């Protein structure tokens, strides 16, 4: 089944996997091969891997874009930004999401130390540096983001290579529709600023804005679907403390912490993720 989007064939799909920022559905390939024949699809996020953009640069618009292609009663698996979208989809479209799996997820990407409901995350200055850096040099920022995802992984070099091969291409001509399922490594390109004529850089800049500005903490108690959280012990992007806080707030949740791992669990711990998802799906 094509991973580029959820077509009419998605009516037969049971597991839907949403990838993270700057990546493509190719990042799910190792894990999907281990799901034991269970039906799955992996749509590209808006503006990623050649997919159409959402109508607006908001979490609601990105969720609406995906919900329109989502078959009812899916088991929705999200990683990183995909986990935030999965949470939002479960809240906005509960009839379309029967079960929820959040891998390396959080309800708020940016740390909040100012309010009584403090939340662990990346420092606001670090997040803003990513956004401004992406505007100046998208390729260098993607490379830095990949390196950060690999922190805490036992085989960092191998995981970094795999992530690099699954990145969304930033330049026109780097990839066409036929590559949406392929492992793609973006070629070197001269540094340039993001312009509105380049769909992928604009969509990725919007994705960073979603990560920086989204706060789903208030919705957690309203998500009634069974939820499995899978998190790396040494995740440097989404601290494990955030996963523990979500597990406490979600009404029907279970947290599995994978020891000795970081953020890139679909690649570094694909067998463990597939096993946990299969057990959750079969229950």
Q: Which residues are catalytic?
A: 80, 235, 263
The answer to whether 1 touches 11, Cβ cutoff 8 Å, is: no
Nearest by Cα to 101 from 79, 71, 73, 70: 79
Query: Beta strand pairing status for 74-79 and 15-18?
Result: parallel
Mutual orientation of helices 138-150 and 124-136 as an angle, nearest 10°? Answer: 140
Could you give the CA distance from residue 103 to residue 166 in angstroms, rounded to a whole number? 17
Beta bridge partners of 215: 108
Instruction: Please tell me what DSSP assigns to residue 220.
Output: G
Q: How far is CA 258 from CA 72, 78, 89, 92, 262, in A?
A: 30, 16, 25, 29, 9
Q: How far is CA 108 from the centre of its chain?
A: 13
Q: How far is CA 264 from the centre of its chain?
A: 10
Reduced to 3 states (helix: H, G, I; strand: E, B; else coil), residue 193 is coil
What does residue 22 show for φ and ψ, rounded to 5 degrees? 80, 0
């Amino acid at each position: 089944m094509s991973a580029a989007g959820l077509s009419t064939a998605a009516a037969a799909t049971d597991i839907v996997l949403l990838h993270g920022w700057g990546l493509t559905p190719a990042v799910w390939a190792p894990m999907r091969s281990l799901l034991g024949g269970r039906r799955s699809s992996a749509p590209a996020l808006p503006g990623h891997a050649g997919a159409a953009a959402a109508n607006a640069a908001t979490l609601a618009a990105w969720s609406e874009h995906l919900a329109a292609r989502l078959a009812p009663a899916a088991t929705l698996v999200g990683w990183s930004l995909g986990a935030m979208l999965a949470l939002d989809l479960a809240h906005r479209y509960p009839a379309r999401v029967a079960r929820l799996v959040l891998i390396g997820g959080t309800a708020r990407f940016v740390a909040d130390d100012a309010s009584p409901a403090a939340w662990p995350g990346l420092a606001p200055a670090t997040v803003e540096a990513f956004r401004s850096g992406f505007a100046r040099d998208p390729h260098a920022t993607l490379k830095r983001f990949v390196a950060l995802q690999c922190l805490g992984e036992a085989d960092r070099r191998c995981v970094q290579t795999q992530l690099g091969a699954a990145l969304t291409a930033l330049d026109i001509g780097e990839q066409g529709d036929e590559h949406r399922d392929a492992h793609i490594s973006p070629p070197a390109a001269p540094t340039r600023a993001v312009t509105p004529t380049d769909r992928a850089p604009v969509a990725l800049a919007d994705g960073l804005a979603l990560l920086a500005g989204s706060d789903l903490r208030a919705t957690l108690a309203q998500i009634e679907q069974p939820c499995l959280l899978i998190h790396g012990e040494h995740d440097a992007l989404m601290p494990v403390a955030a996963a523990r806080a979500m597990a406490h707030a979600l009404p029907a949740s279970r947290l599995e912490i994978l020891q000795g791992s970081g953020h890139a669990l679909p690649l570094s711990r694909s067998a463990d993720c597939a096993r946990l998802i299969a057990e959750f799906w079969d229950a």
